[in-house]
Amino acid sequence: MVAASLKELDRRIRSVKNTQQITRAMKMVAAAKLRRAQDKLIAARPYGGKLEELLDGLTGTQIDHPLFEERNLRRRFVVVISSDKGLCGSYNAGVLRQTEDWLKAHDDDGVENVIYVVGRKANDFFKRRQWKVETVIDDLGGVIDVPRFNQIADDLMHRFLKDEVQEIRIFYTRFVSTLRYEPTHATLLPLKPAESDGGATAPVRKSVDFLYEPSAEAVLAALLPKSIRNRVFNAIAEAATSEHGARMTSMGAATENAGKMIDSLTLFRNRARQSAITQEISEIVGGANALA
């Protein structure tokens, strides 16, 4: 009976050790991905800041462009960015809960909300709750892929310019630090005059008089699509960085908890073994005394 109990404890200890090896490896992989994502995010901020600075000067001149036009189509895209995989703590829960709360609050404003999903977890979440999901992109895998992000931005701009929707809102998780990330949302389209969003740490704008060639209108037409691409890049890159940080933290905690469980099971096993040895000695002594 005791031997069977010891074997079961040995089996459980081996199982937890195997799990600990997996979580430790996942933590290391997430840490490496986090560093790469942070580097790309930080490297892109000067570009985004300068781009928005130029646009601030241009939009202040009251130049008309279709991306600024207010529409009354009674249809809105709600873009939600989540992860494709789990094991990243409360990362997905935060942005999905915020999105659903916003959808419920705006469910009776006379505008149809259509969900545009980036990430498998968001797709699963909203389909279970019977929300209308029109577009699903679930092949990013937490990788910061600029050409792929540009395709998403171009698709959103194309649908807006084709008058499919009157507004596009984007929900994502903003990266603050490895241990902190915040669900947030913003209007992607239509643009607002002198609106800027060069990233989470966009610099303060300075008033500068520019000379535009060939014309301010031509420069604006060239820069606006780049601005939308940059904003989509920032949102998805911030979300991906937050995902890797959350996964690293989650797997670190899982590894630590596995270590505590191994210590507890090992202590319990040693006590059981000690009890079994004591019992065997007592039986031997008792048998010897009976023969004496």
pLDDT at 196: 44
pLDDT at 62: 60
Q: How many domains does the chain have?
A: 1
Q: Please check whether residue 271 lies inside any domain of the structure.
A: no
Q: Which residues, in sequence order, are bridge partners of residue 44?
A: none
* Structural contact between residues 67 and 157, judged by C-beta atoms closer than 8 angstroms: yes
pLDDT tier, 273 (very low <50, low <70, confident <90, very high otherwise): confident
pLDDT at 205: 47
pLDDT tier, 65 (very low <50, low <70, confident <90, very high otherwise): confident
pLDDT at 119 over 90: yes
194-241 per-position pLDDT tens digit: 544 444 434 444 555 667 778 878 888 889 999 999 999 999 999 999
- Catalytic site residues? 88
pLDDT tier, 64 (very low <50, low <70, confident <90, very high otherwise): confident
Pairing of strands 180-189, 167-177: antiparallel
Q: Please check whether residue 50 lies inside any domain of the structure.
A: yes
* Angstrom distance (rounded) from CA 280 to CA 194: 85
* Angstrom distance (rounded) from CA 152 to CA 137: 9
Q: What is the CATH number of the domain that holds 52?
A: 3.40.1380.10
122-135 per-position pLDDT tens digit: 999 999 998 989 99
Q: Please check whether residue 192 lies inside any domain of the structure.
A: yes
Q: Please check whether residue 126 lies inside any domain of the structure.
A: yes
Q: Please check whether residue 133 lies inside any domain of the structure.
A: yes
The residue whose two tokens read 């984007």 is: 170
Domain that holds residue 206: 28-248
Cα–chain-centroid distance for residue 167? 23
Mean pLDDT of 147-171: 95
Q: Please check whether residue 225 lies inside any domain of the structure.
A: yes
Q: Which residues contact 211 (CB under 8 A, 6 or more apart)?
A: none
Q: Please check whether residue 288 lies inside any domain of the structure.
A: no
Most confident of the ranges 71-75, 192-196, 270-274: 71-75
Closest CA to 15 of 26, 25, 7: 7
pLDDT at 194: 58
3-state secondary structure of 214: coil
Report the predicted TM-score, pTM, of the whole model to 2 decimal places.
0.84
pLDDT at 267 over 50: yes
Q: Please check whether residue 6 lies inside any domain of the structure.
A: no
